């Protein structure tokens, strides 16, 4: 069910907002501030009383599944441009447990209906360039890019940049594991984190899988290895493979110097994934994402976090990423 939000929905709007805002804070700390729930609640309350705004909330079985916030926007005519009258989408958020269920399309339809009721026939929005999955969704629904923002930080020229290192998000403390928990690793986050800039990745959640979710393992099926859930037997290989293909393209544009991956993960393990074969179970397999990384970036230092508990191996990894960073 999708309807106009009311004051009673404010706690759920704040909760949904935090799911995305916290990610923005982590990715762009120079832009976003840590959210204050009371202030954000007051912010939503003020918008619910503003006739130029509309907020629609989606609920599934009574639980908040997403919302869209829109506003009238009039860009006056200038010497160079004609007047633009449109509806601007300030925020659209879908709970991770309710992706791929038509929630986004339903919210967008409500925005379109509201725009027409305001006498406006154009929707506009901004999207972060890093958010490739969102860009793809918007393009599929008909949005077209007509402007791009760029920036040059003069202060960055005065500071010493750090090597960019990819890392499994759960190792930094993100609650993205199948059981809804984290695998925070202090050696990774604190020791190595002092000298690098992290680029967090979670194949499962970024490909649309919920938290929590069924545990998965790798299974040999004919000549292929499939990622299959252990309870319902659902094959998630195609979902994760489609995401991997897009992610590799995104990573190819980054100046990565190394990658730290979660051991024993069906997606991220380098040499410790559990693989079910007709003759038994192996525990030295390579996860689907890790394997793709190794094939596409053969010179990139890629390790499991458990290897870094050893000081000698940790120092060697740091040496290799420093070598990549300086181009030696």
Token output for 188:
């990774």
Is residue 18 domain-shared with residue 132, that is, in the same domain? yes
- Residue 155 in domain: no
Give the H/E segment covering residue 275: strand 273-277
The pLDDT of residue 306 is 96
The pLDDT of residue 194 is 87
- Residue 219 in domain: yes
The pLDDT of residue 126 is 92
- Residue 178 in domain: yes
Is residue 51 domain-shared with residue 113, that is, in the same domain? yes
Is 214 in contact with 178 (CB distance < 8 Å)? yes
Is residue 193 domain-shared with residue 268, that is, in the same domain? yes
Any residues with CB less than 8 A from the CB of 124 and at least 6 apart, and which? Answer: 73, 86, 87, 88, 89
Which residues in the chain come in under a pLDDT of 70? 27, 130, 155-160, 328
Closest CA to 235 of 274, 273, 199, 266: 266
The pLDDT of residue 23 is 78
The pLDDT of residue 128 is 80
Is residue 168 domain-shared with residue 298, that is, in the same domain? yes
The label of the residue with tokens 């601007």 reads 88
Is residue 75 domain-shared with residue 178, that is, in the same domain? no
Closest CA to 18 of 120, 117, 91, 121: 91
Any residues with CB less than 8 A from the CB of 143 and at least 6 apart, and which? Answer: 123, 125
The CB-side HSE value for 35 (13 A sphere, CA atoms) comes to: 20
- Residue 146 in domain: no
E-state strands within 7-151: 53-60, 63-75, 84-94, 123-125
Number of domains forming the structure of the chain? 2
Is residue 42 domain-shared with residue 121, that is, in the same domain? yes
CATH number of the domain to which 128 belongs: 3.40.630.30
- pLDDT of 268-319, one tens digit each? 999 999 999 999 999 999 999 999 999 999 999 999 999 999 999 999 999 9
Is residue 216 domain-shared with residue 131, that is, in the same domain? no
Is residue 221 domain-shared with residue 317, that is, in the same domain? yes
Is residue 114 domain-shared with residue 193, that is, in the same domain? no
The pLDDT of residue 152 is 76
The pLDDT of residue 159 is 61
Domain interval for residue 293: 160-326
Is residue 176 domain-shared with residue 321, that is, in the same domain? yes
Is residue 119 domain-shared with residue 164, that is, in the same domain? no
The pLDDT of residue 130 is 65
The reported pTM is 0.56
Any residues with CB less than 8 A from the CB of 90 and at least 6 apart, and which? Answer: 69, 70, 71
Is residue 133 domain-shared with residue 166, that is, in the same domain? no
Crossing angle of the two packed helices 237-251 and 288-296, in degrees rounded to 10 = 30
- Residue 152 in domain: no
């Amino acid at each position: 069910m999708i309807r106009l939000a009311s004051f009673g929905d404010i706690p759920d709007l704040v909760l949904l907002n935090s799911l995305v805002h916290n990610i923005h804070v982590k990715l762009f700390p120079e832009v976003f501030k840590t959210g204050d729930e009371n202030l954000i609640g007051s912010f939503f309350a003020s918008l619910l009383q503003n006739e130029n705004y509309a907020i629609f909330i989606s609920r599934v079985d009574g639980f908040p599944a997403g919302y869209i916030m829109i506003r009238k926007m009039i860009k006056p005519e200038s010497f160079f441009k004609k007047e633009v009258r449109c509806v601007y989408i300030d925020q659209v958020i879908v709970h991770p447990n309710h992706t791929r269920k038509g929630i986004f399309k339903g919210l967008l339809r409500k925005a379109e209906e509201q725009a027409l009721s305001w006498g406006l026939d154009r929707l506009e929005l901004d999207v972060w360039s890093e958010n490739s999955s969102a860009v793809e969704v918007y393009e599929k629904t008909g949005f077209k890019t007509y402007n791009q923002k760029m920036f040059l930080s003069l202060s960055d020229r005065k500071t010493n940049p750090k090597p960019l290192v990819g890392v499994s998000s759960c190792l930094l403390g993100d609650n993205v594991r199948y059981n809804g928990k984290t695998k925070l690793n202090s050696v990774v986050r604190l020791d190595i984190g002092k000298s690098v800039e992290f680029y967090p990745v979670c194949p499962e959640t970024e490909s649309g899988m919920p938290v929590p979710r069924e545990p998965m393992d790798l299974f040999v099926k004919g000549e292929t290895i499939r990622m299959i859930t252990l309870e319902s037997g659902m094959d998630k290989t195609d979902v994760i493979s489609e995401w991997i293909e897009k992610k590799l393209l995104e990573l190819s544009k980054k100046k990565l110097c190394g990658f730290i991956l979660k051991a024993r993960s069906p997606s991220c393990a380098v040499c410790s994934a559990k693989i079910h074969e007709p003759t038994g179970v192996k525990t030295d397999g390579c996860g689907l994402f890790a394997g793709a990384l190794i094939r596409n970036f053969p010179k990139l230092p890629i390790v499991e976090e458990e290897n870094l508990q050893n000081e000698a191996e940790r120092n060697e990894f740091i040496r290799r990423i420093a070598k990549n960073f300086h181009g030696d």
